[in-house]
Structure 1
Amino acid sequence: MSSKRSISISAVLTKEEETLREEDNSNTNPKSTFDFKSYMIHKANSVNQALDGAVSIREPRKIHEAMRYSLLAGGKRVRPMLCIAACELVGGDEPMAMPAACAVEMIHTMSLIHDDLPCMDNDDLRRGKPTNHKVFGEDVAVLAGDSLLAFAFEYLAVSTVGVAPARVIRAIGELAKSIGSEGLVAGQVVDINSEGLKDVGLEHLEFIHVHKTAALLEAAVVVDDILDVTKSSNELGKTAGKDLVADKVTYPKLIGIEQSREFAKKLNQEAQEQLSGFDQAKAAPLIALANYIAHRQN
């Protein structure tokens, strides 16, 4: 899911938008008083509670169990944190941003469920657990993803409070555009069609990542590619080396691991530069998230 769109959605709900800072902030900015670890734990807990309440067990029981299985399977909740932090940056608050944050996470989860299907990436492991279709079957997994996608828009529309209806509509439009045939789907289609191709350039790869995961999370995508090569399945929580087996187009494949890391660093710096005009105390969570994404280990 698009980080740029994620931030745009939450910012639309108040007033503007922008970017992301680190895994352990003492490593990169010892003078900072912002406690990123505490922030991340607090926000993740808030998001998890909201998601748990949003998608409850009801009839038909099996589909809701499948939705909750993947939605509540863990994860760092970076995308919803971006929504909340961006909203707070421009004068909003967490309750105002939470429905948008949850909607983004529901759609992200949908994309993971569908990505893992045998007809797509055919993966057995996600977030350290068997993938949805391995537990519930391919048919229910497809429907669980579909249900999360539909419910994301319903939840954003009916649960957002304290925001002008026109802004909610704009947020829904931004979110829909980011995942359709000119967004996430476009990136996924080009990614699938690129497997095994030998003559693929950086511009082609950039199209995949800009559309599939979006501009402001490009740094995270580059790091994902590096981790797929360098980390084990246990460390990643998903099957390592899948990109190599599928002969996927990745930054490490085209430019090597070290240059990929340099590219991630460059994107991280560019993201932080976009925050230079904002109140630095309010921007601290976004700066910390940028560093976290660029330097994360799983």
Structure 2
Amino acid sequence: PESRPPVLIGAGDVNAAMDSARFTFVLDIPPDFEADVLAGRSPAAQLLIDATAMMQAGIGAGQIVGILDDEIGRFARREAAAAPAPVGLQVRYAFNQALDTKWFMGIMATINNITMLAVLLAGAALIREREHGTLEHLLVMPVRPAEIMTAKVVANGTVILALTAFALLGIVRGVLGVPLAGSMTLFLAGTALYLFFATALGIFLGTIARSMPQLGLLFILIVLPMTMLSGANTPLESEPKWLQWVMQFVPSTHFVAFAQAILCRGAGLEVVWPRFAATVVIGAVFFALSLRRFRRHLAAMR
């Protein structure tokens, strides 16, 4: 009851399963393990761990080692003479071998700030334009609502992409010394896809809020829970099943998943393309809904 039921996989499938984040822990039990335990030869079992989420890796490793020690100790005492430490368990940490907190927190802070800046900058731009009367000036120009909204999405997205590249290369890797395992180009491409959703969400909230304080309150009620439940702070697997299912329809969940896969585990497009596709599809649907709301908002101002 302390963990999910174990899944049996072949030795040749271990690397692909861990690279794709299918498993966090893989226990490698060698051939003739039972016979070696009974003979008192102290065989070694290997525990492979995905240390992308460092806290989960540390807690899980301790639990698994404790479970194995108890079970193997009971087995050895029942079937053969008691012997001290009948099995030596070798632990191998992958993707964060030093268990350095900076490796996880530096990347996750950048990912969370991308969502925060995209929503707040796009929403604030719309509210400020309405407060200063510049939005009415746009209404008398020969531009359509889709062009106005797309311009805001592209402008804010470009600024955030540039800041993201600077933060990862200059601060996370340059100052903090965190290695970025995967392709920055691939990550920035995925971030650009995600920003269509995040900036559209900001504009959607900007059409609802009448002032910056109201936008801040809506941000707390909507964006903060969305970020906390996306897997950036705690593993998605620790949430109830129904909530895991709901979060699959939120692009931030897929954004966090492919960002961790690329930056922490060095995944390529062949691994993260399903996450990219989900981000595009869900983001496009919400962009269309936000555009519809934006059109109504402009029509009410005429």
Instruction: State the TM-score bracket (shorter-chain normalisation).
Output: under 0.3
TM-score by length of 2: 0.27
TM-score by length of 1: 0.27
Larger-gyration structure (1/2): 2
| Higher share in strand | 2
